[in-house]
Structure 1
Amino acid sequence: MAASSVDIDHVVPLAAGWRSGAWAWDAAKRRAFANDLTRPRLIAVSAKSNRAKGDPTPATWKSPAVDSWCLYAKAWTHVKVVYGLTITEAERAALVEMLDTCTPSTTARC
């Protein structure tokens, strides 16, 4: 795969972070959030899929690959908790639905 066909995706998009509390942070914390390599923040994805996803929350976007929901929802939740970001009721409901797909094998990979 050519490097030009790969994007680095923020699990919690920067715009979604902004809407859920990052607007109140100073520049240093926003920079840390955008570039955090120690948590499941940044993932390599196809450029096509990243552009198709955009910046929504799980309330309005879920991967068509249902087998990825568990890991995605766990990563999303972890980032939101670590950074003290809020979630909406619709986001919570979607995350619960996604987390309900977790099995012992997907939980072991987290």
Structure 2
Amino acid sequence: MPKKSLWTTVVAFVLLGAGWLVFESGWLDDEPAAASGPAAEQLAALKVAPAGTMDGYSRDSFEHWTAQPQAGRNCNTREAVLERDGSGVRVNGACEATSGSWTSAYTGETITDPSKLDIDHTVPLANAWRSGAKDWTAQRRSEFANDLRSPQLLAVDAGSNRAKGDQDPSTWKPAAGYWCDYATDWIEVKNAYALTVTPQERTALQDMLGTCR
């Protein structure tokens, strides 16, 4: 083979290799970034275990909505969350919301009728039972069901709350725009109460955290 032809062949292979590297690098850049930050660290710290038994479960095992005195008023947990999560909320003498505006984080829907709202437990009571709460005291379960300090309680549209039921993020998710916040809140609650996650739940949470920016 003439020297010029051999040199041309070598150059072609080098350029082809460089082009492949550029392509490979671009392809990698398109991959979702691995989740990082406090929520990812908390998720990594959670114990992974299969879902536990539902034997003995009852919603009555988690006493709710307990008294939450506010400014001298005798409110319960549901009423306190409605007042906290709404805009322009008016309440009557019994602390019941009579008007206001609420945006359901799960759907983005604006609701002005408080009777169409549910107070959702971010980590459902039955899920908590399967992931460790079965062994708690009644007092601990009541604290969990009425927790206003962690992101465990949220006023949402009744439809999405009932569609969610006791499912974890591997089988139910809110609107995609809320995935980051939902996963972060779910992980924070499970971390605060040392609850376990299933392998499928953990994978779904990792995927949802990948939407955080």
The CA deviation at 1:43 is 0.3
Normalised by the length of structure 1, the TM-score is: 0.91
2:119 is matched with 8
Unaligned 5+ runs, structure 2: 1-111
1:66 is matched with 176
| Corresponding residue SS for 1:79 | helix
| Corresponding residue SS for 1:7 | strand
Cα distance in 2, alignment partners of residues 60 and 48 from structure 1: 16
More helix per residue: 1 or 2?
1
| Corresponding residue SS for 1:17 | helix
The CA deviation at 1:48 is 1.2
| Corresponding residue SS for 1:44 | strand
CA RMSD of aligned residues (A): 0.6
Specify the code of the residue in structure 2 equivalent to 1:18: W
The CA deviation at 1:71 is 0.3
Cα distance in 1, alignment partners of residues 202 and 130 from structure 2: 15
1:106 is matched with none
2:193 counterpart (65, 69, 83):
83
Using the aligned pairs only, state the percent identity: 57
Unaligned 5+ runs, structure 1: 104-110
1:43 is matched with 154
1:101 is matched with 211
The CA deviation at 1:3 is 1.3
Bigger relative CO (Cα 8 Å, ≥ 6 apart) = 1
Cα distance in 2, alignment partners of residues 66 and 95 from structure 1: 13
1:52 counterpart (163, 167, 187):
163
Normalised by the length of structure 2, the TM-score is: 0.47
Aligned length: 102
Cα distance in 2, alignment partners of residues 38 and 62 from structure 1: 23
2:34 is matched with none
2:141 is matched with 30
